[in-house]
Amino acid sequence: MSAFRYTRYSPVSLSQIRPAGWIMELLKRQCSSITGHPQASGYPFDHTFWGNPTQLPDVPDPNMLWWPYEQTAYRIDGAIKVGFLTGDDTVYRMALAEIDQAIEQAAPDDFIGPEMFRTHDRWPYAVFFRAVLAQYAISSDKRYLDALVRHYHSTPHPMNFGRDVTGVEILLALYAETGQADLLETAQDLYARFNRQAGEFDLDYSLAGMRSDKPVTTHGVSFNEIAKLGAILYAATGDQDSLAATLNAYAKVERDHVLADGLHSSAEGMCGHDPLASHETCNITDYTWSLGHLVQITGDAHFADQIERVIFNALPGVIIKDFKALQYFSCPNQLVATNVSNHNAMSRGDNRMSYRPGHPVQCCTGNAQRALPNFVERMWMRGQGDRDDEIVAALFGPGQLDTQVAGTQLTIQENTRYPFEQNVSFSLHPEHPVRFTFTVRVPGWCHQPAITLNDQPLTERPTPGSFYRIEREWQPGDQVVLTLPFELALKRWPEGGISLEFGPLTLSLPVAAPLEIEIEDAWVQTPEEFRLSGPQQRLPGFPAYRLTPASQWAYALAVDEQSLAQVAKVTWNDPSGFPLDLDNPALRVSVPARRVKDWTLVETDRVIRSIPSFEDGKFCMVDRPVEGHFTLTPPLPDLESLPERLSDEVEWIDLVPYGNTLLRMTVFPDGMKK
């Protein structure tokens, strides 16, 4: 794909990237599970709406007819990429068939999809057209590009539902490829109409809302899909004000909402960063996709650091490690995951924190399938404009890049288990000696990075939080090694909470829990207006699970910033095997802790459940009391009573990477006796 004039880096085509190692293994697991078996997740993934525009969804509320198109488009985008990257032709062809059918069945004026989208609810097209653009990047077949251009020429773009404005992202991608000025004009007009409409509601992701000092409190997915558009418009036009607005908005989110696993809270609105704040799984994908744009546009390494922290921690933290089940809501502290364990205000006491192949609300089931393929797509970038001879290693992980630079074929092999080891080694193999710039990101969390070229240290020391450029004539077989010593760090959170990080990894106490198969029907807990179908028929081998704690978890950490490095003991384990499996963590960190007396799960027979509703045609949240028996993760102990509840005895507990857990404690009470 092409880039814009006002951008630092341009994307590398997905067709040039070959993942390997643990990344390839996780992609293959995804491919062989819910991505390769969409029927396991139930409706709407067992239907092909995009490939059959006359088969409209069976949805109780007509306001939600667009919903199955959004959800299935997520899956198609993930499947086309993961199928290609793994070489799984069955998964790839399954997604490609729906893309091809949608294009082939376009209306006589080339409008793609059902007629109902001509006038409203065009939001799902942004998701689906990303999949079409991915196929264009894979195949270089301009048939896909031309079909999208003709679609946008066929009918005016509506500005109805707020997310309709996300068409700006696709319009500008098409403008970057074709240079057709009318596509840019349409994008600018659509964004202007959105901001005029948004002014009536003071939306956090309008230009005015993003510029303001007002904290962001809006729906996470809507924010991530819309807030980045200001930066993309800057990339196309040079409008500094739009870029500044987007950057200010994301700075506010990071300041107020980012949790211990790297992702902002979003259950479903952004809700701070206290120890029970959770996030919707959709935002693992949406936040990192938006940050990927910001890396390319600004060249700021900090955004890449944020992407890695989310993908290395939050993503594996929401899935059963075979990728056959996932959560809708996930939290750094989650001690129970059942049909009645959701501790968030939205849908409190329901199944959204349970691990299932599909959820009654299916957006996260589809969207999670895009997260790792999108990460792979952003691992490599290129310099822009007069720096086109610059190859950039932006995100790290095992794999290979096959590209051309200065007219010469180039292969770069990235040999590493990062983030499960501390070195990243690059082996460069140009077809013949050629001069170009090889750039590697130096993470901001690493205070003593080092880079060697052919075993010799470079004269200029790398600066944390930057991109390090090496310009020279490269010979076949040249080796660049980036050494990133991991350091333990202690983070402080509201309510007296503390957590530990080790390099890009968040550390958690794994709480043992047998994987009990859930046999109760969870669909009945979903409000009628949000049920897309009745109870799902589960595919054999894809169960839902019930997880309850079977090991001690009520600990406070007996460390502080001064003692951490001296008392914590880091043990690196055997590097064989898959590093995210529950019983195979890459490392363990032993730390002193004290038990907390009378700190137990919350058992209650009544919860107040906030649920979405449409009243008089308008979306709102309604609080309703619900009777039953609910078991919830508790908040941290009260700070005033904590000292008296701490055991005098100090024990040693083993923390592991967040991604190796299902049930976990991540944000602990402070157990240093005052």
| Residue ranges covered by each domain of the chain | 39-202, 381-416+423-483, 488-669
Q: How many residues does the chain have?
A: 674
Q: What pLDDT sits at residue 616?
A: 61
30-42 average pLDDT score: 95
pLDDT tens track for 181-213: 999 999 999 999 999 988 766 789 999 999 999
pLDDT tens track for 500-509: 999 999 999 9
Q: How confident is residue 340, by pLDDT bands cut at 50, 70 and 90?
A: very high
Q: How confident is residue 515, by pLDDT bands cut at 50, 70 and 90?
A: very high
Q: What pLDDT sits at residue 585?
A: 96
Checking if the pLDDT of 315 tops 90, the result is yes
625-653 average pLDDT score: 95
Q: How far is CA 525 from the centre of its chain?
A: 27
HEC string for 293-358: HHHHHHCCHHHHHHHHHHHHHHHHHCECCCCCCECCEECCCECCECCCCCCCCECCCCCCCCCECC
Element housing 545 (H / E): strand 545-546
- State the residue for tokens 């948004």: 198
Q: What pLDDT sits at residue 198?
A: 81
278-283 average pLDDT score: 98
131 CB-near residues (< 8 Å, 6+ apart): 73, 76, 77, 80, 95, 99
Q: What pLDDT sits at residue 2?
A: 63
Q: What pLDDT sits at residue 200?
A: 63
Choose the weakest-confidence range: 31-45, 64-78, 384-398, 616-630: 616-630
pLDDT tens track for 317-339: 999 999 999 999 999 999 999 99
574 CB-near residues (< 8 Å, 6+ apart): none
Q: How confident is residue 614, by pLDDT bands cut at 50, 70 and 90?
A: low
Q: How confident is residue 56, by pLDDT bands cut at 50, 70 and 90?
A: confident
Checking if the pLDDT of 20 tops 60, the result is yes
483-499 average pLDDT score: 97
* C-alpha–C-alpha distance, residues 317 and 57, integer Å: 32
HEC string for 29-56: HHHHCCCCCHHHHCCCCCCCCCCCCCCC
Q: How confident is residue 618, by pLDDT bands cut at 50, 70 and 90?
A: low
Determine what percent of the chain is predicted with pLDDT higher than 70: 95
Q: What pLDDT sits at residue 532?
A: 55
- What are the helix (H) ranges across 483-528? none
* C-alpha–C-alpha distance, residues 259 and 277, integer Å: 8
User: What's the mean per-residue pLDDT of the chain?
Assistant: 93
Checking if the pLDDT of 3 tops 80, the result is no
Choose the weakest-confidence range: 44-58, 345-359, 376-390: 44-58
Q: What pLDDT sits at residue 559?
A: 96
HEC string for 366-421: HHHHHHHHHHHHCCEEEECHHHCCEEEECCCCCEEEEEEECCEEEEEEEECCCCCC
Q: Please check whether residue 399 is in contact with residue 379, taking contact to mean a CB–CB distance below 8 angstroms.
A: yes
pLDDT tens track for 135-161: 999 999 999 999 999 999 999 999 988
- Model confidence, pTM: 0.96
Determine what percent of the chain is predicted with pLDDT higher than 90: 86
Q: What pLDDT sits at residue 617?
A: 54
Q: What pLDDT sits at residue 674?
A: 56
Please identify, in words, the CATH class of the domain defined by 381-416+423-483.
Answer: mainly beta
